[in-house]
Amino acid sequence: MTRLPSRSARGFTLIEMLVALLILGVLSALGYGTYRAARISAERTEESLKRSREIEFGMRVLVMDFAQMAPRPVRDPLGQQRLPALHGSAGNGTSAGTSASGTGSSALGANSSMHFDSGPGFQSTFSGSSSSTTSLPLAEFTRGGWSNTAGQQRSTLQRVAYALVDGTIKRSYQTALDTVQGNQPIVQDLLTGVKTIQFRYMDENQTYQNQWPPPNLPQPDSLVTRPVAVEITIEFKDWGRIRRLVEVAG
């Protein structure tokens, strides 16, 4: 007499295997969706942290530069005219050629020793260059505290300038205070995604000036006089507005 096999010995039917595969597919899709969401969240968090570090570092550099402003005028590249220790405008909103107030950055004058271009960091053009992409700096000044850990034969003072070019705040510095023609400044991209940057300069009467030196300051004093404090307001495309009031040392 032949014995029929039991149900457990026959294995799974085609329908049972299809149902199992369907359940496995649904669980895999749910798992992948969760993994993808977690990965996107991690990438956004990393981008946010990176952006936060960039802004924090850039603002710290700005504050340190203005806080250590020194009363040391410099000569223009031709050596024919002395430039004030601080030459600053009110700032601008879209490019270094047009300010938010419509006055532009021409307040720095044609004898400014630093020009900027719209290329990536550490590229620059010198005053008098024929390049059409140059932009006048918004603020140019002498600062102290330039670290000289290598013991090089140079001053601890540094000539620094800032400009806004195509939404990027660029910081420029000269290796020598009194520059000569052909000496290229070093330009670094400091802050990106910037809509506007504005400066206000507080004089010793606790009054804010939109440019420095003030128009009513006599010539000898205008070369060395510094503001008591500088208000810096930067509006970012993604982070909104950040304001710093920097007290000038000394």
- Map residue 184 onto helix, strand or coil: coil
**Could you report the per-residue pLDDT of 84-99, keeping only the tens digit for each?**
999 999 987 543 343 3
38 within a domain of the structure (yes/no): no
For residue 168, is it within any domain?
A: yes
- 29 located within any domain: no
Structural domains of the chain, count:
1
Residue 101, in any domain of the structure? yes
**Does a structural domain hold residue 46?**
no
Please answer whether residues 98 and 92 qualify as being in contact, where contact means their C-beta atoms are separated by less than 8 angstroms.
yes
Residue 5 lies in a domain: no
State how far Cα 83 lies from the chain centre.
25
16 within a domain of the structure (yes/no): no
**Residue 121 lies in domain:** 52-146+155-247
Spell out where the chain has E strands: 74-75, 82-83, 86-88, 91-92, 114-116, 124-126, 139-143, 158-165, 168-174, 186-191, 194-202, 208-209, 229-236, 240-247
CB-based burial, 20-58: b 16+ in 10 Å, e otherwise? eeeeeeeeeeeeeeeeeeeeeeeeeeeeeeeeeeebeeb
* Angle formed at CA 184 by CA 94 and CA 65, multiple of 5 degrees: 60
> What's the average model confidence in pLDDT over 14-29?
81
When mean pLDDT is compared across 65-74, 218-227, 232-241, the lowest value belongs to: 218-227
The answer as to whether 1 is a domain residue is no
Residue 107 has pLDDT above 80, yes or no: no
